[in-house]
């Protein structure tokens, strides 16, 4: 079933300007209408006091059951430190070929790594992360192309090295009309 | 095409299974989950997984016990064990039991990716290794030994029956009959085939050189021994050593060789450390070793030690029915190696090749075909392409009568069937010549 549109749901405060830029880039990449809305969740339920992080997998499930609706693709936007039980942290995750994904700003900030705040870099990283998780929701797996946005990223430096675009192969997998 | 690696996740915690499942599926792996060891083992009974990622602490059967059972099911399966409570003891035990690696939960995303990448690389290497082994076996097969004659079928049978044993073999036969190919075929079909076959051409080396070649030498053992060097016996460990032209070795080397064959150990030249090597010995000679033993030029004890099995490779002149087969084989072999379109051979050239006696055996025939392909017109090999001048042709298996008939016919033609001139040239009287013409049914050409 071809999705009619993409919805970005922000959980917590996100600057309007940042969201506007993300909406524009996501729409450009997937050639689908993108809308945003606010979502409300009691995040404390997802907080793990031992790890002092938020359970990304449970959040993904929550977004899927309470906020997503077919045939659209939904990405939940967060600003908390996400983890999954087996990994120390994640930037985001999605159901492969599912209808939802999540992405967090938390570990994308320069300040976290002792560097000077840079909103431009933060925006670039976040839109790549959102497009990456959407790519999974559209059924794309990790790509070996070094600049493809679907390349797996473990560190923020990895995100910085790739582009915000899908490579030709991934675009072809999505059946996007490259001539557009 | 890259093969899709499959992963089986075994963990009693649903959140761990789901998050790992999700993580790997995004990387393009085929993933399945099991909530306990029992279910995992039942899945593994019916399906193969490249990697098993298993938790150590699980209710019922724990990860270590499951690891042991998986190893009995599939010895080469890659099992990575995970635990939230790392202790050195469990890690050591897991590795001792054959785990590929051991990780502590939660792990860094990069560690997980590296772990799976390393495991995938290991799987790819093992598979590549298996494929290459198969290819080596097929390349070293009896393919190069061609022949459908009874004598060659016997050789094939002997190769087959001796290959699986460890017995020493002496291959006898004239020069150029393919003794080394027979040795290679024995090695390629033996359990030692994945280990080296080391060849030594004893006839090409002086006594001291042969000694250093076979046993190796220590640095400074003699002038020019700048480094320690392994000998051929050492190199052939677990494999086969092929000693060509064994009849040429000196009496001193015969003694040394006998000692090595009996003890399977030796000392490098200039060294004092006993080195052991497990090798099988195959020898070849074009001489009659038995008569050399009788004459006292070859040690009897060494002869009996080597001559457990004797395979005789017949000369080509004794299996002329194989010539055409060999000709076709060499034409196809050299056309491919010289990147030429497939060639054929005309009937007269074929006949000429069948008539020749081949003192140099198959090697000579092979060289002839190679030459003919190089100098020929690229389509058909004719008589002119063969280095066989009339006078060098020795007819094989022709009776004196056949020869006489041919010769009389040629001289008759030479003298335009003038009986007196022909009889004079043949030093026969006219009546005898008439009788022979009648006997052979000779007629003047039209």
The CATH homologous superfamily to which domain B6-135 belongs is Response regulator (3.40.50.2300)
User: Which residues, including other chains, have CB under 8 Å from residue B145's CB and lie 6 or more apart?
Assistant: B152, B155, B156, B178, B181, B182, B185
pLDDT of residue A47: 95
- If you measure CA to CA, which chain B residue comes closest to A58? B15
Q: Would you state the pLDDT for residue B396?
A: 52
Closest CB to B15 among A85, A93, A95: A85
Q: Shortest Cα distance from B110 to chain A (angstroms)?
A: 6
Q: B19, A154: Cβ pair inside 8 Å? A: no
First to last CA, chain B: 69
How far is Cα A155 from Cα B409, in angstroms, rounded to an integer? 95
Rounded Cα distance, B327 and B340, in Å: 16
Q: What is the pLDDT of residue A179?
A: 40
Using a CB–CB cutoff of 8 Å, tell me whether A88 touches chain B: yes
For A154, which of B13, B16, B110 is closest by C-beta distance? B110
> Do B225 and B185 meet the contact criterion of CB atoms below 8 Å apart?
no
Structure confidence by residue, pLDDT tens digits, A64-110: 999 988 789 999 999 999 998 888 899 999 998 899 999 999 999 99
Q: What pLDDT, in 10s, does the model give residues B295-326? A: 999 999 999 999 999 999 999 988 888 898 89
Angle (deg, nearest 10), helices A16-30 and A119-137: 40
State whether A88 and B109 contact (CB < 8 Å): yes
The angle, 0 to 180 degrees and rounded to 10, between the axes of the packed helices B419-426 and B400-414 is: 130
Q: What is the pLDDT of residue B438?
A: 86
- Average pLDDT of chain B, as a whole number: 85
**Cα angle, residue B13 at apex, residues B10 and B15 outer, rounded to 5°:** 105
CB A18 within 8 A of CB A127: no
- Given a contact cutoff of 8 angstroms between Cβ atoms, the answer to whether B311 and B179 are in contact is no
Instruction: Compute how many other C-beta atoms are within 10 angstroms of the C-beta atom of residue B59.
Output: 9
State the fold for domain B142-312. Rossmann fold (3.40.50)
Place of tokens 């039209």: B446
Fold of B400-440: Arc Repressor Mutant, subunit A (1.10.10)
> Are residues B299 and B305 in contact, defined by beta-carbon separation less than 8 angstroms?
no
Which is the catalytic residue, given A15, A17, A133, A157? A133
C-alpha B194/C-alpha B192 separation (Å) is: 6
Is the CATH code 3.40.390.10 the one for domain A6-142?
Answer: yes
Contact A99, A74 (CB under 8 A): yes
- Which residues of chain B have a Cβ shorter than 8 Å from any chain A Cβ? 13, 15-16, 18-20, 22-23, 25-28, 82, 105-110, 112-113
The pLDDT, as a whole number, for residue A180 is 41
Question: Cβ–Cβ of B16/A55 closer than 8 Å?
Answer: no
Chain A, window 38-57: residues with a beta carbon less than 8 angstroms from a chain B beta carbon: 51, 55-57
Which residues of chain A have a CB within 8 Å of the CB of B20?
A: 86
Phi, psi of B52 (to 5 degrees): -115, 120
Nearest to A87 by CA among A117, A57, A128, A114: A57
Q: What's the pLDDT score for residue A130?
A: 96
pLDDT by residue (tens digit) across B331-384?
Answer: 988 888 888 888 889 888 888 888 888 888 989 999 999 888 888 877 888 888
Helices (H) and strands (E) in chain A, counts: 5, 9
Flag the least confident range among B50-54, B137-141, B237-241, B245-249.
Answer: B137-141
Please give the average per-residue pLDDT across B68-93, as a whole number.
80
Flag whether residue A137 sits within 8 Å of chain B, measured between CB atoms: no
Does A87 sit within 8 Å of B106, measured CB to CB? Answer: yes
Instruction: Say yes or no: A139 contacts chain B, CB-CB below 8 A.
Output: no
Which two structure tokens, joined as six digits, stand for B446?
């039209």
Chain segment B209-229, per-residue pLDDT in tens: 899 889 988 877 787 777 778
What residues pair up with A10 in beta bridges, in sequence order?
A38, A77
Closest CB to A141 among B27, B107, B112: B27
Distances (CA, A) of A165 to A158, A160, B190: 14, 12, 57
How far from the centroid of its chain's Cα atoms is residue B440's Cα? Answer: 51
> What's the mean pLDDT in B386-398?
58
Q: Output the six-digit token pair for B215.
A: 């046993």
Identify the band that residue B400 occupies on the pLDDT scale cut at 50, 70 and 90. Answer: confident
Residues in chain A within 8 Å Cβ distance of B57 = none
* Interatomic CA distance for residues B242 and A114, integer angstroms: 68
pLDDT at B109 over 90: no
Give CA–CA dist A60/A52, Å, rounded: 18
pLDDT at B150 over 50: yes
Residue to mutate among A85, A89, A137, with most B CBs inside 10 A, is: A85
Record: contact B109-A87, CB cut-off 8 A = yes
Judged by DSSP in three states, B345 sits in: strand
* Angle formed by the axes of helices B347-355 and B361-375, nearest 10°: 150
Any CB–CB contact under 8 A between A63 and chain B?
Answer: no
Q: How confident is the model at residue B1 (pLDDT cuts 50, 70, 90)?
A: very low
Q: Is A17 a catalytic residue?
A: no
Cβ within 8 Å, pair A87-B16 = no
Residue of chain B whose alpha carbon sits nearest to that of A92: B23
User: CB–CB of A87 and B108 under 8 A?
Assistant: yes
CA B188 vs CA A58, B55, B126, B163, B278: distances in Å: 59, 44, 21, 8, 17
Strand partners, B34: B10
Residue B120 has pLDDT above 70, yes or no: yes
The residue with greater pLDDT, B187 or B402, is: B187
State mean pLDDT over B406-429.
87
Q: Is the dihedral of CA A170, A172, A175, A177 positive or negative?
A: positive
Q: Would you give the distance in Å from CA B251 to the centre of its chain?
A: 31
Same fold, B6-135 and B400-440: no
Looking at beta carbons, which residues of chain A come within 8 Å of B27? Answer: 141-142, 152
Distance (Å) of CA B437 to CA B398, B399, B416, B424: 19, 17, 14, 15
Q: Is the pLDDT of residue A126 over 70?
A: yes
Per-domain residue ranges of chain A: 6-142
CATH of domain B317-392: 1.10.8.60
Element (H, E) at B14: helix B14-26
Contact B19 A95 (CB under 8 A): no
Q: Are B81 and B64 in contact (CB under 8 A)?
A: yes
H helices of A3-105, in order, are: 16-30, 56-66
B391: confidence class by pLDDT, cuts 50, 70, 90? very low
Going from the C-alpha of A169 to that of each of A35, B25, B280, the distances in angstroms are 27, 18, 55
Calpha distance B112→A117 (Å, rounded): 30
Percent of chain A surpassing pLDDT 90: 76
Note the pLDDT of residue B3: 60
With CB atoms and an 8 Å threshold, state whether B113 touches A154.
yes
Q: Evaluate if residue A116 carries a pLDDT over 70.
A: yes
| pLDDT (0 to 100) of residue B143 | 63
Question: Which phi and psi (to 5°) does residue A93 adopt?
Answer: -160, 165
Distance of alpha carbon B123 from alpha carbon B145, whole angstroms: 36
- Paired strand residues for A94: A101
SS3 call for A13: coil
Beta pairing partners, B6: B30
- pLDDT, tens only, B43-79: 888 778 889 999 888 888 888 889 888 888 777 789 9
Sorted by where each begins, the domain ranges of chain B are 6-135, 142-312, 317-392, 400-440
Residue A3 has pLDDT above 70, yes or no: no
Give the N- to C-terminal CA distance of chain A in Å, as an integer.
Answer: 21
| Three-class DSSP labels, B19-46 | HHHHHHHHCCCEEEEECCHHHHHHHHHH
Give burial (CB, 10 Å; 0-12/13-18/19+) of B132: exposed
């Amino acid at each position: 079933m071809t999705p009619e549109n993409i919805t970005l749901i922000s959980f917590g405060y996100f600057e309007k300007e940042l969201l506007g830029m993300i909406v524009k880039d996501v729409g450009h990449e997937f050639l689908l209408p993108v809308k945003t809305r606010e979502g409300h969740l009691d995040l404390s339920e997802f907080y793990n006091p031992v790890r002092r992080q938020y359970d990304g997998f449970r959040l993904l499930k929550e977004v899927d059951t309470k906020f997503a609706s077919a045939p659209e693709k939904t990405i939940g936007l967060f600003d908390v430190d996400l983890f999954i039980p087996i990994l120390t942290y994640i930037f985001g995750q999605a159901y492969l070929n599912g209808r939802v994904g999540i992405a967090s700003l938390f570990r994308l900030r320069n300040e976290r790594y002792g560097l000077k705040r840079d909103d431009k870099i933060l925006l670039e990283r976040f839109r790549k992360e959102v497009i990456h998780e959407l790519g999974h929701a559209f059924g794309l797996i990790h790509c070996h192309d070094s600049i493809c946005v679907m390349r797996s990223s473990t560190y923020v430096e990895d995100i910085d090295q790739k582009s915000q675009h899908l490579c030709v192969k991934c675009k072809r997998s999505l059946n996007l009309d490259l001539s557009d | 095409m890259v093969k899709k690696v499959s992963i089986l996740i075994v963990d009693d915690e649903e959140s761990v299974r789901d998050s790992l499942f999700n993580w790997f599926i995004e990387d393009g792996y085929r993933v399945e989950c099991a909530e306990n060891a029992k279910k995992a083992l039942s899945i593994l009974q019916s399906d193969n997984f490249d990697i098993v990622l298993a938790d150590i602490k699980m209710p019922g059967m724990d990860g270590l016990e499951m690891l042991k059972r998986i190893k009995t099911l599939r010895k080469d399966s890659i099992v990575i064990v995970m635990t939230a409570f790392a202790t050195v003891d469990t890690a050591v035990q897991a590795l001792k039991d054959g785990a590929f690696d051991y990780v502590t939960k939660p792990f860094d995303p990069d560690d997980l990716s590296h772990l799976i990448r390393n495991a995938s690389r290991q799987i790819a290497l093992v598979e590549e290794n298996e494929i290459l082994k198969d290819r080596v076996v097929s390349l070293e097969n009896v393919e190069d030994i061609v022949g459908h004659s009874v004598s060659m079928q016997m050789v094939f049978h002997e190769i087959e029956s001796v290959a699986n044993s460890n017995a020493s073999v002496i291959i006898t036969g004239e020069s150029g009959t393919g003794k080394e190919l027979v040795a290679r075929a024995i090695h390629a079909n033996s359990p030692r085939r994945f280990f080296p076959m080391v060849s030594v051409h004893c006839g090409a080396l002086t006594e001291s050189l042969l000694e250093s070649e076979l046993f190796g030498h220590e640095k400074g053992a003699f002038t020019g021994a700048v480094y320690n060097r392994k000998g051929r016996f050492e190199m052939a460990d677990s494999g086969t050593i092929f000693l060509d032209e064994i009849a040429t070795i000196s009496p001193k080397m015969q003694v040394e060789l006998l000692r090595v064959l009996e003890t399977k150990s030796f000392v490098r030249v200039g060294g004092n450390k006993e080195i052991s090597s497990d090798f099988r010995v195959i020898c070849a000679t074009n001489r009659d070793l038995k008569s050399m033993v009788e004459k006292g030029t070859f040690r009897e004890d060494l002869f009996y030690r080597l001559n457990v099995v004797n395979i005789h490779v017949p000369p080509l002149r004794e299996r002329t029915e194989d010539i055409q087969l060999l000709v076709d084989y060499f034409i196809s072999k050299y056309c491919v190696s010289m990147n030429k379109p497939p060639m054929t051979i005309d009937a007269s050239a074929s006949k000429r090749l069948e008539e020749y006696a081949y003192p140099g055996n198959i090697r000579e025939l092979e060289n002839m075909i190679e030459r003919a392909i190089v100098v020929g017109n690229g389509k058909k090999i004719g008589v002119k392409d063969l280095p066989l001048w009339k006078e060098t042709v020795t007819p094989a298996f022709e009776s004196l009568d056949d020869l006489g008939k041919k010769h009389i016919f040629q001289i008759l033609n030479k003298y335009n069937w003038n009986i007196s001139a022909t009889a004079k040239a043949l030093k026969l009287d006219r009546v005898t010549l008439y009788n022979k013409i009648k006997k052979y049914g000779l007629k003047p050409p039209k």
